[in-house]
Amino acid sequence: MEEIGKNESIRVWIDADGAVVAVGDIDLAGGPLLDTAILRLEGSTPVVIDLEAVEFIDSSGLRSLLAASRRADARGTTVVLRKPSAGVLRLLSITGTTEQFQFEGVAP
């Protein structure tokens, strides 16, 4: 595991499988740490982001995910959201951005 960092909003690390794991709130304070972790992993393979323990996300956090998706698209790969919490799924739905991502661990 590689600890990326933590602050008052969020804790972010890269797990043994090479997935970014975020725990807490992805907002104006939490988004930059998530950006750091995602940029650390970006290559030719899909970036997997575990969002099961994300308690809150707003458009600041969504911007981090969308930017990662755009960069992945430019590289011909994708961003995979693993077990996104209900809050994450709702924000994706109301902003019409669900299609920008692939998903793991989401009930059909």
Partner 1 sequence: MSVSADPSASTSSLISGPVTLVVPAVAAMVRVGRLTASSVASIADLSIDDIDDIKIAVSEMITLLIQSDNRSSITLRFEVDAQSFTVEASTPSSALDLGRNDVALATAVLDAVSDRHEVAHVDDRILMKMVKTISPRPES
Burial (CB count <10 Å: 0-12, 13-18, 19+), residue 94: exposed
Say which DSSP state 43 is in: S
* Tokens at 77, concatenated: 């790969």
According to the binding rule CB under 8 A, does residue 62 interact with partner 1? yes
Cβ 65 to partner 1, closest distance in Å?
12
Choose the stretch contacting partner 1; rule: CB under 8 A; options: 13-21, 46-54, 68-76, 88-96: 88-96
Amino acid occupying residue 24: G
DSSP element (H, E) containing 14: strand 10-14
* Tokens at 36, concatenated: 């750091």
Of 6, 19, 23, 29, the one binding partner 1 by CB under 8 A: 29
Choose the stretch contacting partner 1; rule: CB under 8 A; options: 15-23, 36-44, 46-54, 90-98: 90-98
Subset of residues 39 to 58 that bind partner 1, contact rule: CB under 8 A: 56, 58
Cβ 101 to partner 1, closest distance in Å?
16
Three-class DSSP category at 81:
strand
According to the binding rule CB under 8 A, does residue 27 interact with partner 1? yes
